[in-house]
């Protein structure tokens, strides 16, 4: 199913995270220095996109999904995965992941994204009206815009 335009910003971020996962799984990860570099990239990705992405999902996507009782168990799973993934991002920030743990983290992130895209987003598009999706999309855009404004480095005025 073609992704509804109101969910596209999150789907685009999913694509970025999946690309990171693929790159991690293809990397040699054979030296401590390589592991540190990859963990730095994971940390940076969390700070630049995923933190706001999780906030948008938890504030707008998941509550909308819960309006459909059959989706509540899926939302519960996804929230539990968000907690586990946040732990993984924290371990990457602390440079505490070894080669196996980094690969396992990338696999968990990839599986989580695919679950959201294939199960949650598809179900929301099938169950929600265009107006409901538009409302969710407005909330998503606001969260992501706030995050983007927070990342702007102030410049000195002359």
**87 within some domain:** yes
Residue 143's pLDDT band (cuts 50, 70, 90) = very high
> Residue 151's pLDDT is what?
55
124 belongs to a structural domain: yes
Residues in contact with 77: Cβ distance below 8 Å, sequence separation at least 6, in sequence order: 115
Domain interval for residue 70: 8-148
- Rounded CA gap, 115 and 31, in Å? 32
pLDDT tens-digit readout, 103-126 = 999 999 999 999 999 999 999 999
Count of domains for the chain: 1
For the chain, what is the mean pLDDT? 94
Q: Is residue 50 part of a domain?
A: yes
CATH of the domain at 132: 1.20.120
Domain contains 156: no
Whether 66 is covered by a domain: the verdict is yes
59 CB-side CA count, 13 A: 15
Is 27 inside a domain boundary? Answer: yes
* Structural domain contains residue 23: yes
Is 31 part of a structural domain of the chain? yes
């Amino acid at each position: 199913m073609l992704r509804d335009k109101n969910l596209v910003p999150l789907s685009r971020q999913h694509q970025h995270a999946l690309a990171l996962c693929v790159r991690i799984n293809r990397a040699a990860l054979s030296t401590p220095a390589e592991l540190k570099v990859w963990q730095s990239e994971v940390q940076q990705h969390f700070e630049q996109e995923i933190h706001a992405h999780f906030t948008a999902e938890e504030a707008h996507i998941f509550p909308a999904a819960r309006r459909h009782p059959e989706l509540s168990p899926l939302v519960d799973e996804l929230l539990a995965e968000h907690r586990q993934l946040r732990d993984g991002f924290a371990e990457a920030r602390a440079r505490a992941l070894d080669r196996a743990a980094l690969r396992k983290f990338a696999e968990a992130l990839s599986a989580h994204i695919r679950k959201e895209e294939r199960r949650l987003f598809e179900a929301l598009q099938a169950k929600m009206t265009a107006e409901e999706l538009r409302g969710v999309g407005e909330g998503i855009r606001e969260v992501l815009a706030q995050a983007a404004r927070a990342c702007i480095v102030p410049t000195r005025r002359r």
